[in-house]
């Protein structure tokens, strides 16, 4: 199977079995999504979704959050991983949105990564989810699944290298959706420790499955 055929097999499978693929973070606008994604670093979406309603109720806009103190915001975040850093990041992010972007969330990766707490992965999530831009955020699930399915080469050892290979082969108009396909497949089927290979429709072309069963 050529790499092109491998990608087509995966795309065909997900288009049939996961026609709707979206973020599991709860949000109503770009600012809320940005807050949620910053909080989601090394934390489950489920935990973030339990935390954000109180945050959004008290700080619904960048303007409101920019005026928060550490002691105001920290109690709302303390159940999340790395609450100290994330509290500082959220306040700094909101202040920069007010100072440089008129309180609006910018929609380019280059602008977003200037914000505290926002790296390339977060910026890719924001632009692909909100604006359907062809940006591929590579988290631990995307990294693992793309490696196991041999969508990317062995030498692709960093998230950026994996991102570049994926966007090279996935049709531009599907990249924002493929991001969620890979994440959700990794979250619920292709688990890190005990992947559910028996119920996976991709196992016949999966490099990991063949190696584990030969």
Annotated binding-site ranges for [4Fe-4S] cluster: 190, 197, 200, 206
Which residue in the list 86, 121, 177, 203 is annotated as catalytic?
121
**Catalytic annotation present for 121:** yes
Distance, CA of 121 to CA of 141 (rounded, Å) = 12
**Catalytic annotation present for 28:** no
Distance, CA of 110 to CA of 119 (rounded, Å) = 10
Distances in Å between the Cα of 136 and the Cα atoms of 31, 98, 176 are 20, 27, 7
Which residue in the list 86, 139, 177, 203 is annotated as catalytic?
139
Smallest Cα–Cα separation from 38: which of 127, 134, 136, 123? Answer: 123
Distance, CA of 56 to CA of 30 (rounded, Å) = 12
164 phi and psi angles, rounded to 5 deg = -65, -40
Residue with tokens 């966007």: 167
Binding residues: 190, 197, 200, 206
Per-position b or e across 126-152, b if 16+ CB within 10 A of its CB: bbbbbeebbbbbbbebbbbbbbbbbbb
Residues assigned a catalytic role? 121, 139
């Amino acid at each position: 199977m050529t790499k092109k055929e491998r990608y087509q097999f995966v795309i065909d499978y997900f288009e049939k079995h996961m026609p709707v693929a979206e973020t599991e973070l709860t949000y109503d606008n770009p600012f809320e999504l940005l807050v949620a994604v910053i909080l989601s670093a090394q934390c489950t979406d489920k935990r973030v979704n339990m935390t954000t309603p109180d945050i959004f109720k008290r700080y619904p806009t960048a303007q409101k959050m920019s005026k928060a103190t550490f002691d105001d915001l920290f109690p709302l975040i303390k159940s999340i991983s790395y609450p100290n850093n994330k509290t500082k990041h959220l306040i700094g992010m909101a202040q920069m949105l007010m100072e440089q972007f008129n309180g609006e969330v910018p929609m380019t990766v280059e602008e977003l990564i200037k914000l505290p707490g926002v790296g390339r992965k977060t910026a890719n999530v924001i632009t692909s989810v909100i604006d359907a831009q062809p940006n591929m955020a590579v988290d631990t699930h995307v990294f693992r699944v793309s490696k196991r399915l041999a969508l990317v080469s062995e030498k692709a050892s960093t998230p950026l290298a994996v991102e570049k290979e994926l966007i090279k082969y996935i049709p531009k108009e599907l990249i924002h959706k493929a991001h969620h396909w890979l994440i959700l497949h990794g979250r619920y089927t292709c688990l890190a420790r005990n992947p559910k290979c028996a119920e996976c429709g991709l196992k016949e072309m999966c490099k990991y499955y063949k190696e584990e069963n030969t």
